[in-house]
Structure 1
Amino acid sequence: MVSLVLHLFIHDTDASIALQKPPLITFTEIKFDLPASRDLWLAKSATFWRDLYLKSQSSSPSNPPPTLIEAMHNPESLLQHYPAIDTQLTTLTLLHGFWGQIHSLLDSKKFYPAQKATHRLCLVTAHTELYRDLVSFSASLSPASPRTILIAHLLMMILHAPPEDLQRFAGKSGEDEARKASSELAVWAAMPEARVAVWHAGQVLRVARCLVQAQLRGFNAIAVYYAALALWVYGLMSPGSNHKTGLSAAGIERGGREVVLNEKETAGVRDFRASGEGVPGLMVDEEFVRLTATNGILRVARDMYRGNFPVVDEGLPPLVENLGNLLRDLGEGPGSRISRAPSEGVA
């Protein structure tokens, strides 16, 4: 029953992120014990289950396992109770538990205008602390499954680049809203938070390539779609960009060093996040694709969808196919951004 409720919480959170709606289940409502080891669920017989249970109990510390909220603030405590608990499901649940705070913070930013300096200062402080907690929690996820790492980078990207704004610019809410979003995102693209967002977006794509075949579906596919949107918007809004050549005047003036966003962090990446130094892009098949080459960036995401389903004579899953079509439409010209305006959600 515990595992069922946690999977339901994860599903509700995924739906909330995908549709950009408030979650139905809050993390603080989950007050029961941590889930038992997955090996117990997969035991082949009652005897095997008994042996596994006794072994896990004998190796567990005398102190009781932490609650979910306690584990969120001290994830290392989970290691003390391994293998008695399902650490993979627990860490995935803890990671999804951050979404309620992120959604509330993003909603508060919409409520208080920029002129409300006192409130905005509080929000900036909350944003900084929440990002710090996410970074600290993510650093403790070792080893972790690709899906867990993907979700971690997606949440950190969303904290700096709300998908609702990206989709407004893409035409989800009509041409007028797209124009308003364009003005807002032009300001955003010049700020450090935009560079942090595209770094995490690149990491989403990096981790998505590590997923096994046919796993880039459902929420994983939506994560890639949102990451591609963030990279596409940043490429369009970069000051002084030439979208035909993919060159950025600002990047050239600062040395033109390539900053690869879909590989592991380097000193060049840290310099880019801090000061905007370098030319950001993706490394694909040993070829560097600048973010300002926006059609190429969208093509990278579409190729990832296709590449994860190697049977070329069969169609992609409907959601994946639709997301690929949305990315294709965005790359066909300004007018195509509005072609999906009446659609609801991303499916």
Structure 2
Amino acid sequence: MSTTQPGMFQCGSCKKNYKRLDHLARHVRSHTQTKPYKCHVCPKAFTRPDLLKRHVAGHGSQAGDSSVAEQPRYMPGRVSKACKACSTNHLRCSDEKPCRRCQEKGIECKWNDSMELDSDFQSEEQQQDEAIFSQDDASSSMAGFPDHTSIGSTSGSSVMEQPSLDMLTPQTSHSLFQNLGKSTRHRTQVRGSPQLDPSMNTNIDPLFFPLPDLNLLSGGWANPDANNVDMYTYNQLDDIDLRFLDSYNTSIPFEVRSIQPTPRGAQTPRAASHTDPGEPAAMCTEAFQNSHWKFRPNAKDHAGAEEHNLSLPATDSAYPSPESGVALDSNTRVTSAKLEGPARDRILMMVVNSCRSDHLSKAVASFPSAELLDTLLQYYLTSPVTHATSFIHAASFNPNGKRPELVAAMAACGAVLTSDPALSKLGYAIQECLRIAVAKHWEQDNTLVRDLQLTQAFVITLEMGIWSGLPRKVEIAESFFNPVLTMMRRDGKFKRSVYSQSKTMQSPGLVSREEWFQWVEDESFKRLAFRMLSHDANTSAALLVSPSVSYAEILLPLPEHADLWTAASPEQWNSLKASRRQDQPLFVADVIDDPDILNNHTDSVDIYVAIMAVLSCTWAMCWEYLQLSSLQRSRPRRWNTLVTEMRKDELLKLLGHLKLSLSADTSADPEIQMRLELALLHLHMPFEDIQIFAGMEGPERARAVYPTVRDWVKSEAARHTIFHAAQIMHIAKHSPRGSMRGPMAIILYHASLAFWVYGLLSDQSSLSRALSQNVYLDEPDSIALQRFKGFGQGQPCIRWRTEIQGEGEVVISVPLSQPDKVMEAVMGIVRSNFTGMPVPHLTEKLVQLMGELENSAKRKLDA
């Protein structure tokens, strides 16, 4: 007579044995109250897939889904757990406890204790959701923000402490797989267990069922009969076995904290409460509606709406002269030739031909003088923000011999850079005229679509529009980039074949001026192409749109060394070229393949342009990953997470290698540092979902993405995100005065939003914060930071230098659990960057948006 063999899988808590691993997993979930199977329609979660399928079928029947309702086995009358009385008598019970039958009979309704634990656990999570999504009925979305439960008061008991998984030893692994074959023989006979319908979107990957971290090996293994091994059954693995084993190749099969985000478009139903659960996100909806992302056209918006700004205001004591708004050192001229009267008249004629007759007389009478236009031109060329001389050849630039459109575009951009109100209005009015004038030239003579100066002028106007902070100009600049990109693309300017290698003369005296000018024009087109690539990447990050330039089409060689580009004469250019080593051309793909290669070509390529080109292509790769990851989250049954995670790992390695390979001079550039950190930031965070949660698309969409954002905040990726956000903040602190504008201001705003959502939704209790050691995220990487990023140990903080009355300037520690203080610190960095200077319009709009986020966080914490 054969004796029953004990199960080889043992629970680490109650020591109960099981013959199958899935039975043990189901048992341990009764201890841990883990519910890995989440409904994609409502926030409920279940411990078993069959319960989830039955629950989802109930949704289908309520919505009138005939395809689901026709299945008789999943009628909505079935309940998840019957009470003991109904179970003993084989009667139908109800989900509400005590059940209706026991109440009618007047008997005590008893059910399993684990059911109570499940209910309590679910209610705690619902309470946390309501603490985030709640509003007083008498308050409005902005002025009277609702009373909320304090974020820091969330009980720590709702966060499950998971035991660690011991390592498999060779001995235990051998015993495990010896008995796996035995259990397979019995498992093939039991095929009646319900399986999830593949057509049903239950947000479960059938290949990788998330099993909890069960501490399976902490208890003693049952001793199997090692001598009774059937090698035939050992090799007879069925589909379930193969799926389980295959999951080891892609994920930890006992991972409890795997994120199961809500698919895009799915909305969680409102809680049965007197409060509106979606209103936290509406707190900033109006602020987003008034931001530069939202253009709401009206009848007053048209091309001639700014023509009255073409004339400068009359001088008085408050506004002595237009030149007073330009802080330009007379010793920093870039061009030797000054702009003279005839060049100014050509610019005025271009403006007159582009505007309506209503404002002509006033514009002609008060148009800027040649001296002012020359000052604005020099201001543009010398500004450290624009890097204008990286694509405009200053040594050969004579404003009196160039097209008036190019000179006007440079002067207009210089006027906007001053941030003086009158000059900024003048610059934007000239920009509007330029947009029409350049298009007229292209329409009247199609050969001019290959003209370098007109293309340069148009690109400058697009840069002005994108970073203006004015919704209409932003939308026009975004849409008008495609025509000029198409012209450059059709002319082959992104390919190698159109750029001929210049020949080096052996004698400096033999070089001709025409040859120099030809090299300058070829190099200018090359640098203009890389300028457009960088502009496209910045626009993509600012507006969260797909890049228009593919990283795969950047096939042109990198620009030559900056010394050759800035040579003042043909002789100096040829002498420098003859003294340098003639290497093979370097391409962006070469640097992406091996970032260290730049250190071997420091005397042959322009390092700044090369790094910016590589970062722009890397951003396009990161955006591609973000789109695939978003699609994978919304359709997890179709797209395997293994593919996207491998792509993410490769991008992280590339960015890390690039960061290490930068030279000291290059890495000191704050724009390069911030763009590198921005790519790392976005690889770890669902930024679009976070911005929607903040209120960008209204309360309904905020309610839909809340589960995704909440789960993300609890993950390791969130801790990596706030580390990179703190590094961006640290770079901004030490950036040159007046540089927090344009792309850098956008990057700092992205970092602030990461701080805000982490501080708002992180569930650190007051006691745990008091016992944790401060970890300063805005410091260089350290062991404490590694522990925080990997294990969440410590309380994340940033340092803030502020003025305290009676003590002067002091450095204080601001924990991220106080998001209002963190937002105040970020805004303080921006204001200190413009001390004694007017703040650009875009930067001011972003500061106002951060102020709204600060107020919303303050109201929630004070509630």
TM-score between both structures, scaled by the size of structure 2: 0.36
Q: Gapped runs of 5+ residues in structure 1?
A: 242-246, 338-347
Alpha-carbon distance, 1:174 to partner: 0.6
2:37 aligned with 1:37, yes or no?
no
Query: Structure 1 counterpart of 2:833, which letter?
Result: N
Verify the 8 A CA contact 2:592 2:654 in the aligned structure 1.
Answer: no
- Distance in 1, matches of 2:590 and 2:637, equals 34
In the alignment, is the contact (CA less than 8 A) between 1:189 and 1:234 conserved in 2?
yes
Tell me what 2:843 maps to: 320
- Alignment partner of 1:288: what SS? strand
- Take 2:818 and 2:627, find their aligned partners in 1: how far apart are those partners? 32
Q: Is the 8 A contact 1:216 1:305 kept in 2?
A: yes
CA distances 1:250-294 after superposition (whole Å, capped 9, x unpaired): 444xx5111111111111101000000000011112211001111
Which AA in structure 2 matches 1:199?
F
Q: Which of 798, 812, 826 in structure 2 is aligned with 1:282?
A: 798
CA deviation string 1:143-163 (max 9, x = no partner): 222211111111100111132
* C-alpha displacement of 1:128: 2.0
- 8 Å CA contact retained: 1:329, 1:336: no
Aligned AA (2:610): T
What percentage of aligned pairs have identical amino acids? Answer: 27
Offset from partner CA, 1:232-262 (integer Å, 9 cap, x none): 1111111135xxxxx5x4444xx51111111
Distance in 1 separating the partners of 2:726 and 2:737 = 20
Q: 2:538 aligns with which of 14, 28, 34?
A: 14
Partner of residue 340, structure 1: none
1:141 aligns with 2:662: yes
Alignment of 1:236-315 (within 5 A): 236-241=760-765, 247=766, 249-252=767-770, 255-285=771-801, 286-311=811-836, 314-315=837-838
- 1:129 aligned to which of 650, 674, 682: 650
Q: Give me the whole-angstrom Cα distance separating, in 2, the residues matched to 1:116 and 1:195.
A: 28
**What is the correspondence of 1:1-347 to structure 2 with a 5 Å cutoff?**
1-55=525-579, 57-58=580-581, 62=583, 64-112=584-632, 113=634, 115-116=636-637, 119-143=640-664, 144=667, 145-241=669-765, 247=766, 249-252=767-770, 255-285=771-801, 286-311=811-836, 314-333=837-856
Shift of 1:220: 0.2
| Contact 2:626–2:683 (CA under 8 A) maintained in structure 1 | yes
Alpha-carbon distance, 1:169 to partner: 1.4
Question: Which position in structure 1 is the counterpart of 2:98?
Answer: none
| CA shift in 2, pair 1:25/1:115, >3 Å | closer
Q: Which residue identity is paired with 1:284?
A: W
Give the CA deviation at 1:171.
Answer: 0.6
Q: Is the 2:820–2:858 Cα contact (8 Å) retained in structure 1?
A: no
- 1:75·1:140 contact (CA, 8 Å) conserved in 2? yes
Matched residue type, 1:50: N
Task: Give the direction of change, closer, same or farther, for the CA distance of 1:290–1:159 in structure 2 (3 Å limit).
Answer: same
Report the equivalent of 1:244.
none
What is the aligned residue count? Answer: 323
Q: Displacement of 1:114 after TM fit? A: 6.5
Contact 1:34 1:68 in 2 (8 A): yes
Superposed structure 1 runs of 4+ greater than 3 Å apart: 249-252, 334-337
CA 51–16 in structure 1, closer or farther in 2 if over 3 Å, else same = same
* C-alpha separation in 2, matches of 1:118 and 1:325: 40
C-alpha contact (below 8 Å) 1:114/1:120 kept by paired residues: no
> What amino acid maps onto 1:102 in structure 2?
C
Q: Give the C-alpha shift of residue 37 in structure 1.
A: 1.2
Q: Distance in 1 between matches of 2:636 and 2:553?
A: 35
- Which amino acid is 1:291 matched to? L
Name the amino acid aligned to 2:661. S
SS in 1 for 2:855: coil
CA apart distance, 1:44: 2.4
Paired residue secondary structure (1:333): helix
Q: Aligned in 2, Cα 1:334/1:208: closer, same or farther, shift over 3 Å?
A: closer
CA distance in 1, matches of 2:587, 2:599: 14
> Following the alignment from structure 1 to structure 2, what is the Cα–Cα distance between the partners of residues 189 and 31?
40
Change (3 A) 1:250 1:108: farther
Q: Is the 8 A contact 2:625 2:644 kept in 1?
A: yes
| 1:124-145 residue CA offsets vs partner (Å, 9 max, x unmatched) | 2222222122112212122222
1-side partners of 2:556 and 2:779: how far apart?
A: 39
| Partner Cα distance (1:83, 1:158) in 2 | 33
- Classify the secondary structure of the residue corresponding to 2:775: strand
**1:200-244 residue CA offsets vs partner (Å, 9 max, x unmatched):** 010011112222111110000000000000011111111135xxx
Q: CA deviation at 1:335?
A: 11
Native 8 Å contact 1:65 1:81 kept in 2: no
TM-score (norm 1): 0.88
Which residue identity does 2:654 align to in structure 1?
Answer: D
Q: Equivalent residue of 1:331, what SS?
A: helix
Instruction: Tell me the distance in 2 between the aligned counterparts of 1:335 and 1:111.
Output: 35
Q: Distance in 2 between matches of 1:24 and 1:250?
A: 47
Secondary structure of the residue aligned to 1:280 is: strand
Contact 2:796 2:816 in 1 (8 A): yes
Which secondary structure state, in structure 1, belongs to the residue aligned with residue 640 of structure 2?
Answer: helix
Counterpart CA distance in 2 for 1:22 and 1:118 is: 21
The one-letter code of the counterpart of 1:294 is P
Root mean square deviation, CA, Å = 2.0
Q: CA offset at residue 334 of structure 1?
A: 6.4
Bigger mean CA offset, 103-112 vs 166-175? 103-112
Cα distance in 2 for partners of 1:140, 1:80 equals: 11
1:115: Cα distance to partner? 3.9
Which letter does structure 1 place at the counterpart of 2:703?
A: R
**Which ranges of structure 2 fall in alignment gaps of 5 or more residues?**
1-524, 802-810
Q: Distance in 2 between matches of 1:72 and 1:133?
A: 7
Q: How far apart, CA to CA, are the structure 2 residues paired with 1:223 and 1:114?
A: 30
1:94-125 deviations in Å (ceiling 9; x for gaps)? 01211122111111122223642861222122
CA–CA distance in structure 2, aligned partners of residues 304 and 183 of structure 1: 32
Q: Which has the larger radius of gyration?
A: 2
CA distance in 1, matches of 2:768, 2:710: 15
More deviation in 191-200 or 169-178?
169-178
